[in-house]
Structure 1
Amino acid sequence: MALLFFDLSLLPSSNPNSRLLAAARALELGYAAVALDHPHRGLLADADRCRTAPFPVLSSLPLPSSASLHRSRNGSPTYEPFRQYTRITLSLDSIAAAASALAPSAARLLRTYDIVAVRPLNQATLDYLCQFATEMDVISIDFSHKLPFRLKLAMVKLALQRGIHFEIAYSPLIDDVNSRRQVLAEAKLLVDWTKGKNLIISSAAHNANEIRGPYDVINLCAYLLGLSTHRAKAAMSVNCRSLISKATRKKYFYKETIKIDTLLPDEQLDSTKYKLGDWIGRDPSSFIGDL
């Protein structure tokens, strides 16, 4: 399997061009994909369906020469296009809010996004997410501030058994001394308990200045968080790819077996056009960006 690096959280900014510049910087540094993150707090409504548009200029081939150079240095293939996924990050402050936002009835809206992340704001919500929530892919924890809850080994293990991923953002580590100290005090516990399993590392960047190259981040996390180089690399590559593949199967395949396509009203099923062989053996993460 090709080594591909991901940054699964680029946040919006007051400057509309900031996220474009951040995505362009990620492309230049050799990342193969990013997720355009939409933070949300409060009740979901139909107006909250995904309206995040990728930047077509960044996904064209051939890659810019700087991107090809960095990918070659990173050991990543240059023939893969730069992919842009959509993501929603729900901040939830109660079990009732979590049950409502992640209920099966909300699946139609949530599945307009490629990735569904949840940020718990208290102990009860975190415990509920680890034990029961299904319509989500990742638990994102803001380690840059004092946590409003306590991480529990039993809950972390249960979430891992259920295939849920945990996310640590590295931008606070390069932001200021106070943020760095806070992350180090809290995030190391999650690193120790997960041992890198189902752990992803993202930038949570608001602008291009907060993005670092894959191996800079790997060395930073290995040095500050105690992750081995191998596990830090997996947290930015293999684990991210696994998360996307799982999210794709859940959203675009019925019971992870039969792909569901939306057909236009006048479109007819044509056996010469739709062939089973087109889907067998295909990696979900390789085509979700093309949908």
Structure 2
Amino acid sequence: MQIKTLDLEAYLGESHILKGISIHANKKEFVGIIGPNGSGKSTLLKCLYRSLKPSIGTIFLDDKDIRDFSIKESAKRMAVVSQHNNYNFDFNVADMVLMGRSPHKKFIEKDNAKDYEIMEESLEKVGMKSYAKRSFSTLSGGEKQRIILARALAQKAECLILDEPTNHLDIKYQLQFMSTVKELDITVISAIHDLNIAALYCDKIYAMKAGKIISYGTPKEVLTKELIKSLYEVDAKVIEDDETGNLNIIYRSHTLNLKDKK
């Protein structure tokens, strides 16, 4: 599935968060959104998965205006893994993943054998099949994030929207999570905090600052020391691995002299 935005503007109260955002994710393309805190990444994603309505602009799913889809229809096409996964009700892991089947169900329709099969397959893909009967509330932040990915996989959607999905994961599970997503071979749009993760998995990157796109292209085109300095106000060295061709970003430490700050 293709996703495009055209001149998106969004306000939160009196704050102008998105300022004319146009992006394009081709079918089966892994698109990263990078930028400092407050740049508008999460707001953009919320507009895509319809948690927030943009003030101006249009979102297209396969060249069709998203407003022409019902919420349930768009949920069949797009699955979401967000940063915050706190729930007031306690569910076991299997029931959490089965919620991903709800866009495919009629009102109060019961889960069937196929739904349970998909649930088990989804848990297996994220390495959490043995947790099916565990209470979701007892899991660590990283474990919860993997269950939320399993729930998204259970939707069998054509596109996956990720909002900084690996923040709560250690290095092993960051790589496992992103590799699992990459192997799905579907359209992915992800806000990514870690630039090395973005370089490793993204086909294309959009860099955001103060609600605007300031750069886009392949990781090698976007992730330069000049762009990183402009975006994050830090010095970095960008090295290309001779064996894999992957980029490695190395940050230079800054010693803060408190006396100078007084």
What is the TM-score normalised by the length of structure 2?
A: 0.36
Structure whose residues are more often strand by fraction: 2
Which structure is higher in RCO with an 8 Å CA cutoff and minimum separation 6? 2
Q: Structure 1 or 2: larger helix share?
A: 1
| TM-score, normalised with respect to structure 1 | 0.34
